[in-house]
Each structure stands twice: as C-alpha cells, then as structure tokens.
Amino acid sequence: MKIFYGWVVVAAGFVITCIGLGTAMSLGVFLQPITAAMGWSRTDVSTAAVLTFLAMGAGSFFWGAMSDRYGTRAVLLCGGVLLGIGLMSASQTTEVWQFQLLWGLLGGLAAGAFFAPLTAIASRWFTKHRSLAVALITAGMGLGSMVIGPLARYIISIQDWRAAMFDLGLLALAVVLPTSLLVRNAPVEPVLASGLAADGSGSPGGFTVAQALRTPQFAAVSGTFFACCAAHSGPIFHMISYAMDCGVSAMTAATVFGTAGVSSLVGRIAFGLTADRLGAKPTLVGGLLLQAASIQLYYFVRTPEAFYAVAMVFGLSYGGVMPLYAILVREYFGARIMGSMFGAVAMISTIGMAIGPWVGGFVFDYLGGYGWLYIGSSAIGLGAATIAFVFRSPATAVRLQVA
C-alpha cells in the first residue's frame, strides 16, 4: 500500500519542530542556572528571550517568503545550521550582551525558519485533513517542551548549563539537517477562474502579498494571534522559576514544564480534529477562553500536584489554539502566498511572545513575585478571545466576495 507523501512531510515536520523549536524555546530551563552562575539578573536573561521572539518573528516573514520562492527544504537546512551554531556559540559566552545576541538574535532567526514554512507546506499537501496535518506539525513544539526541557535539566544537573546548551546545539545539527532532506514541495494546486483554489479557499482575483497585508482579515487574525501569545508566553517562560520559588524541586519543576508540553501536544491534535468538524473559528474562541482561565489559576497554585493539574489544562489550551491561525490564513489567502502570509501573521505574534518573558522578569525583579504577571496575562487572554469572537470568519468573507 502506497503512503501519501504528504504524511511523510508531516512526520518530518513534526521531528524538526520538536528538536528545532524545542531547543530554541528551552531558555526557561536555563534561567536559574545562568543567573546563579553568571550573576546576571532574570531581566537580563529574559531579554535574550525577547530578542529570540523578535528575531523569530522577522525570520518567519523572511523565511516564509523564501520558502514560497525557493522551496521549504532549502530554508530548513539554513535554519538548522544557524540554530546549531547559535546554541553552541551562546554556551561559550562570558558577557550578557554576547549571550543575548547569540541565543536571542541568531537562535531566533534560525527558529523562524521552521514554524511558518513547515506549517505552510503542510497546508499545501492536504485538503481533507488539513487541520489535522497542520496540528501534527505544530505538535512537535509540544513534544519538544516535554523532551528538551527535562533533557537540558538533566545535563545541567550532572555537568553545567554550558555543557547542556552546547549539547542542544549538536542535537539540532544532528537531527534537523538530515530530516529536512525528506521535505518536498507539494503538487501544484489547481485554481478556478474565480481565483479560488479548487477546494474553495483563497481570494477572488488572487491577492498579492501587499494587498493581502491590507485586508481586515489579516489585521484580525494577526491581532488575535498577538494577544494570544502575549498572554501565554510569560507564564510558559517563567513556569519553572515560579514553581521553584513556590518550593517545588528543580527536577519536579522541569517535569511540570514537560507536562504542559505533553498536554499542548494532545491539545494541538484534539483541537485540529475538532476544527476539521466544527470549523477553526469556534474552536479558536473556546480554546482562548480556556487559556485565559487556566492562566489565572496559576495565581492560586502552590503544591506540585496543583502545578501538574494546571499545567495540563494550560498546555491543552495554548497548544490547541496554535494550529488554528494557520488554518484561518490558508482558508482566506490560499496556498500560493501561504508562506508569506502566515510568516507575516507569525511575525506579529512573536512580538507578543517577546513581551511576556521580559514583563515576567521585570515583575519579579521589581515586585518580588509573579502574581501580577498571571493577572495581566489572563486579562490579555480574554482580549484575544474577544477579538476572535467578533471578527468575520475568513471563509465567510471569501464567499461573500464571490457572491
């Protein structure tokens, strides 16, 4: 029985996002070891995370456009090389600005080569199971949190943070580069005279990227994605440190972080299947409301058992909503400019991702705790749900224009 090659691409993308994005997003595990060893403040180290997300955002747009033009495989290979070099170089730094540039800018630019291009190519390969395929690609990020966090914590415990970071760079090179060779471009999708793709998605007349960036649907989807990421990025990044501040052991705190990662993996698949049945927009609204509620629960937890329980709900929600933005972009703008458009949406979302870690570090350094981080993040999460609820469904907007 011949296997549809789209599933091979999805499997390769799952592995790449697991290792590539899992390593790039693992800085929270290093937060306390680095500050203890180097004397840098949490705000200093958190600034590296800010730069990571900003560079990842710019990289998402750049690499997405490059994947539309030159193919996804070439982009993935470039990203894998940059990520390995960035992590290994960051492990040898002695000054905080060096660490911020190498981990933040170089590592973030590399990470941008994975998410948007792989999401775009998965959406091109599938019609019937598109939401599930995209969900599986992004599920690799959840598995990465589960695997990379405890792995880094274990290496730190037996050696130090420098050895752990260097080893993650080697792992990125060893896994991302050969796996990228399995990724192929999707067959060309037929386009109807109306300008829509054969499955009914896309835009009448075929938007250029410049035109698409000026549509209200782009503003709505990117605004929702921005607020969603601004809400959950701080709680994710400071999850381990907050648990340890509450008296939870370092390894237990790392497994709490991993639990959120596993739950986010389940959420991506479950929400992807739900979106295939009910549609992306209602699934997104429900997930955003659940995310806001679970963030607020962190304000009240203190015991390991409570941290595990909240991490499961939080991971389910923030992981579940992540694939849905790509589905909305694909439904409205079609496959032809999917890489560029989802890269643009992801670029704006990463500004939100950059805000949370820095604000969390600032709140801790100047207020002595994380309480206001969770209150503010929950409020922003409710704002994301509100935007998602009120904007017109992209698919509906296309049908109205065609009519």
**Domain locations in the chain as residue ranges:** 5-185+197-402
Closest CA to 160 of 32, 336, 65, 71: 32
- For residues 123 and 202, which has the higher predicted lDDT (pLDDT)? 123
Confidence of residue 399 (pLDDT cuts 50, 70, 90): very low
Topology of domain 5-185+197-402 in CATH is Growth Hormone; Chain: A; (1.20.1250)
pLDDT value for 205: 43
Residues facing 191 on adjacent strands: 197
Q: How many angstroms separate the Cα of 125 from the Cα of each of 119, 184, 238, 242?
A: 10, 10, 37, 41
pLDDT value for 128: 76
- For residues 268 and 169, which has the higher predicted lDDT (pLDDT)? 169
The helix (run of H) or strand (run of E) holding residue 283 is helix 280-297
pLDDT value for 214: 82
Share of the chain above pLDDT 90, in %: 28
Between 324-338, 351-365, 378-392, the lowest mean confidence (pLDDT) is in 324-338
Q: How many angstroms separate the Cα of 178 from the Cα of each of 15, 167, 174, 182, 349?
A: 11, 17, 7, 8, 29
Phi-psi region of 200 (alpha: psi -120 to 50; beta: other; left: phi over 0): left
pLDDT value for 289: 96
- For residues 142 and 243, which has the higher predicted lDDT (pLDDT)? 243
Confidence of residue 1 (pLDDT cuts 50, 70, 90): low
Spatial contact of 265 and 320, defined as CB atoms under 8 Å apart? no
pLDDT value for 393: 54
The CB density around residue 372, as the number of other CB atoms within 10 Å, is: 14
Closest CA to 46 of 377, 361, 311: 361
The helix (run of H) or strand (run of E) holding residue 306 is helix 304-333
Which of 178-187, 220-229, 345-354 tops mean pLDDT? Answer: 220-229
Question: pLDDT for 69-101, tens place per residue?
Answer: 888 899 999 999 999 999 999 999 988 899 989
Question: pLDDT for 19-48, tens place per residue?
Answer: 888 887 788 788 888 888 888 887 888 788
Mean local confidence (pLDDT), 222-245? 90
Length of the chain: 403
The three-class DSSP label of residue 63 is helix
Confidence of residue 355 (pLDDT cuts 50, 70, 90): confident
Confidence of residue 189 (pLDDT cuts 50, 70, 90): low
Spatial contact of 157 and 251, defined as CB atoms under 8 Å apart? yes
Confidence of residue 188 (pLDDT cuts 50, 70, 90): low
Rounded Cα distance, 218 and 244, in Å: 40
Rounded Cα distance, 112 and 57, in Å: 6
Residues 6+ apart with CB under 8 A from 96: 38, 40, 44, 45
Spatial contact of 70 and 129, defined as CB atoms under 8 Å apart? no
Fill in the amino acid letter for 379: A
Closest CA to 304 of 353, 350, 251: 251
pLDDT value for 42: 78
pLDDT value for 149: 80
Task: Kindly calculate the radius of gyration of the chain based on its CA atoms and give it in whole angstroms.
Answer: 20
pLDDT value for 400: 42
